[in-house]
Structure 1
Amino acid sequence: MSDYIIVGGGSAGCILAARLSEDPDVSVTLLEAGPPDTDRYIHLPVGFFKMTSGPLIWGYDTAPGKAIDGRTMVYPQARVLGGGSSINAQVFTRGCPQDYDGWAADNGCAGWSYAEVLPYFIRSEGNDIFAGPQHGIDGPLGVSSGAPHPLTRIFVKAAQQAGLPFRADFNAGEQAGAGFYQTTTRRGKRSSTAVAYLKPALGRKNLALRTDATVSRIVVENGRAIGVEIIVNGRTERLGAEPLGASIDDD
């Protein structure tokens, strides 16, 4: 029985488990349907090309598209600890400040203006190049600049010759232009949320991780969620959440 059960050990789930378990007075269980992030191609940054079409995704395809002559495309959704942060291309781009401001001003999303979310970006970021008011250097998420391929350098030069401005930092408030991306890597390896947030927290006695555990349903009694049912090796188990109800026996 845990105080918190987190369904899905993806990008958000790993962070949530690490942050909640900072309080030693609560217990946290993190459930992930996929396996641990032990595949070497996860941690080798260039290996993402194998991950986005390999065995650690759910196998979704898009609907047939008219613009691509009725073909379908692989829609990679991760099924592994770390979720998308374990299989994606690691490009570190926060999004346009104008989008955040629009959500807050025009769509009623209080607290989501760029000025309000920026402190959280800074807090999470451990940048190896950029510092100052837009960047963090001590955060758990590794962000680094690699050595661009010669053809990449030529491409960026050509973009400038075509009239596009050079953009040294895509996370400094302006994104229009051409430049070199930073990536969520540290010391030559992928910095997923499983690596950056969860792994340092797994030694805590109040945090339990279960992989290869598919959640089949949320258990609701009297209008309140009191636990979940999971499938492990073909067997159904029921896990209860302490603050939300009485103890639930396993099936």
Structure 2
Amino acid sequence: MKNDNHQSTFRQGDAIDAAEWAAMRGRLDRRGFLGVLVSAGFSFATADAMAQQAVAVQANQEALANALQASYDYIVVGAGSSGCVVARRLAENPAAKVLLIEAGGSDDVDSVNNPGIWFSNIRSPLDWGFTAEPSKAVNGRALILPMGKVIGGGSSINGSIYVRGHKSDYDGWARESGDAMWGYEHVLDIYRRIEDFQGPADAQRRGRGGLFHSQIANDPNPVAPAMVRAAKSVGIPSFDDINGAMMEGPGGCGLAQHTIKDGRRHSVAKVYLHPVMAQANLTVLTGAEVGRLNLSGKRVTGIEMTWRGKTQKIGASKEVILCAGAINSPRILMHSGIGDEKELKAAGIHVAHHLPGVGRNFQDHVLVAGCIWEYPKARPPRNNAAECTLFWKSDSRLASPDMQPIQVEIPFANEVTGKQFKVPPAAWSIAPGLVKPKSRGRLTVRGASPKDGVRIEANFLQDPADLKALVRAVELSREIGNSLEMREFVKREIMPGPMKGKSLENFVRNAASTYYHEVGTCRMGRDELAVVDAQLRVRGIDGLRVADGSIMPEITGGNTMMPCVIIGERMGEILKAA
């Protein structure tokens, strides 16, 4: 059964759907749940089994929350793209008692389930609502930095694009950490194990039959394959699989791959977390916000959180694993007295451990909003409204691609460019992107209380090399959009037009936004500014690890959801070995 607006769909015998509905539809009693499934085409016996599972999950999690224990073996903070994986892998040991804490709520929301309206999640209650400080490099603008505040984290509110990262990204992590297990060879083993790729067979690089469904854009808008042809016409090779051999070479263009299944978002939570929520050893708390860690000397003994209107302390007999993301993980560390000694004292925080790298090395991909063309005839967007992307080098001497323009099947402008240019609704875009920025930012706490939050100096485009690369990305996007191959879809170019020199640079500064891929602020490494080691242990602190995008020494050259899954899987391997 499938409907036109990509709402929930079903398929008989689909075990993942069964687990998903069991976790998500607890608001229905067994009879109501049974009726929904039978009307969707399931046999009575199958529907009845799924209904029983749904009721069991609801009852299990309610009972576990109402009988919250004073201590668990492991506490995982944050149910995002890494945290869901870590919790799943820990809970696979039936002897381990695991508490997963999420500040947001349920992912049973239309804007989560429907991948075509993902942008409606931005600045909604599902978004933490972070904003960077104003910066001269982007003409005094304060760029928004959305992050998921919901079960599934960013994987529940993002554009559902599946990009694994370039070979050189992971080999760079291995060099920085001194551990070959972070390198491409081992990461490729993980991808082959967890993937269920619905595309061209490639036994060397792709997996089949694993947990994680991914597929090439299904029945795409014709403007997407036209862009593949257009890119080829300007010298960029095309690939049927953008996550295969292409991610080991100089780049290329192809149809995007999505975490969309039967028209619905297939988030990390749906893949990893929902199927294990009926277990007695995994408690998932929503609406619970961790303020700080509890320490005894140099050992973390648990967490302090606000839940159901009260501040509570929960112990961890083995370890706490922070998976709260590149803004909240360093914030929790700093408000716990772990960070730069001088900065903590200035904020009125008692220093538990001097670790100056906490909050440094902030990185994000920069996305230009955008290059836009008017359609001769309106063509509605399909799937996630972003079905084609390319990776290419702004300078052939680079080790890997630093540009990732993404085609967007709606007009993509921001608060400046949308006013500067008259943009019609029947339009499509190519958003030029920079995925290997040189600029680095930092976070600092605003005060001693967790409620005071953080100051985010993102420093976008402060390095002149970033502006130069983005100018080239705009030029490349215009060359593709104005090519003969795209003529069928172009009535006229809306923006930016044939700008040059300082005018084009100023356009880029005004148009700069981000991909919402914040990483790097608890960097993995071996020098004095590294926050975690190769085992993701916080340096100088016992019983504490960080496993999320904040540990990336350098951001991957593409969408960061799947690299965060890899971080979660590596954390699972490390904890299992320990």
TM-score w.r.t. the length of structure 2 is 0.41
Which of residues 204, 209, 221 in structure 2 aligns to 1:138? 209
Residue-pair matches, total: 244
2:187 equivalent to 1:117 = yes
Which of residues 119, 130, 144 in structure 2 aligns to 1:74? 144
Contact 2:98 2:283 in 1 (8 A): yes
Shift of residue 39, structure 1, vs aligned partner = 1.2
The one-letter amino acid of 2:244's match is A
- Cα distance change of structure 1 residues 80 and 46 upon mapping to structure 2, 3 Å threshold: same
Q: State the distance in 2 between where 1:105 and 1:243 align.
A: 29
Show the 5 A alignment for 1:46-61. Answer: 46-61=116-131
Q: State the distance in 1 between where 2:94 and 2:275 align.
A: 15
Shift of residue 101, structure 1, vs aligned partner = 2.2
Contact 1:48 1:89 in 2 (8 A): yes
- Cα distance change of structure 1 residues 201 and 130 upon mapping to structure 2, 3 Å threshold: farther
What is the DSSP-based 3-state SS (H/G/I as helix, E as strand, rest coil) of the residue aligned with 2:295? strand
Superposed CA offset, 1:10-45 (max 9, x none): 111111111111111111110001111121110111
Superposed CA offset, 1:132-154 (max 9, x none): 22111212111012222111122
2:164 equivalent to 1:94 = yes
Single out whichever of 155-164 and 25-34 deviates more from structure 2. 155-164
- Cα distance change of structure 1 residues 186 and 218 upon mapping to structure 2, 3 Å threshold: same
The one-letter amino acid of 1:199's match is H
- Cα distance change of structure 1 residues 74 and 242 upon mapping to structure 2, 3 Å threshold: same
2:265 equivalent to 1:190 = yes
2:275 equivalent to 1:200 = yes
Match of residue 148 from structure 1: 220
Single out whichever of 226-235 and 191-200 deviates more from structure 2. 226-235
Which of residues 228, 240, 249 in structure 2 aligns to 1:168? 240
- Cα distance change of structure 1 residues 62 and 147 upon mapping to structure 2, 3 Å threshold: farther
What is the DSSP-based 3-state SS (H/G/I as helix, E as strand, rest coil) of the residue aligned with 2:252? coil
Contact 1:165 1:178 in 2 (8 A): yes
Which of residues 211, 214, 219 in structure 1 aligns to 2:289? 214
Single out whichever of 105-114 and 23-32 deviates more from structure 2. 105-114
Greater Cα radius of gyration, structure 1 or 2 = 2
The one-letter amino acid of 1:92's match is Y
Superposed CA offset, 1:53-93 (max 9, x none): 32211111123243542222221111111111111111111
- Cα distance change of structure 1 residues 91 and 216 upon mapping to structure 2, 3 Å threshold: same
Q: State the distance in 2 between where 1:209 and 1:103 align.
A: 31
Contact 1:26 1:206 in 2 (8 A): yes
The one-letter amino acid of 1:232's match is W
Q: State the distance in 1 between where 2:115 and 2:210 align.
A: 20
Q: State the distance in 2 between where 1:106 and 1:38 align.
A: 39
What is the DSSP-based 3-state SS (H/G/I as helix, E as strand, rest coil) of the residue aligned with 2:116? helix
Shift of residue 161, structure 1, vs aligned partner = 1.3
- Cα distance change of structure 1 residues 29 and 103 upon mapping to structure 2, 3 Å threshold: closer
- Cα distance change of structure 1 residues 164 and 195 upon mapping to structure 2, 3 Å threshold: same
Match of residue 555 from structure 2: none
2:93 equivalent to 1:23 = yes
2:231 equivalent to 1:159 = yes
Contact 1:96 1:173 in 2 (8 A): no
The answer for unaligned runs of 5 or more in structure 2 is 1-70, 320-578
What is the DSSP-based 3-state SS (H/G/I as helix, E as strand, rest coil) of the residue aligned with 1:126? strand
Single out whichever of 26-35 and 109-118 deviates more from structure 2. 109-118
Superposed CA offset, 1:176-196 (max 9, x none): 111111111222211111100
Q: State the distance in 2 between where 1:103 and 1:29 align.
A: 29
Q: State the distance in 2 between where 1:31 and 1:20 align.
A: 14
Match of residue 38 from structure 1: 108
Higher helix share: 2
Superposed CA offset, 1:164-223 (max 9, x none): 111221111324111111111222211111100000000111110000000111111132
Single out whichever of 233-242 and 200-209 deviates more from structure 2. 233-242
Contact 2:200 2:240 in 1 (8 A): no
Q: Would you identify which runs of 4 or more consecutive aligned residues in structure 1 move more than 3 Å? A: 65-68
Contact 1:97 1:173 in 2 (8 A): no
The one-letter amino acid of 1:113's match is G
Q: State the distance in 2 between where 1:140 and 1:87 align.
A: 20
The one-letter amino acid of 2:204's match is P
Root mean square deviation, CA, Å? 1.7
Single out whichever of 90-99 and 166-175 deviates more from structure 2. 166-175
RCO greater where, 1 or 2, for CA within 8 Å and sep 6 or more? 1
The one-letter amino acid of 1:190's match is R
Contact 2:164 2:243 in 1 (8 A): yes
What is the DSSP-based 3-state SS (H/G/I as helix, E as strand, rest coil) of the residue aligned with 2:224? helix
Q: State the distance in 1 between where 2:72 and 2:98 align.
A: 6
2:315 equivalent to 1:240 = yes
TM-score w.r.t. the length of structure 1 is 0.91
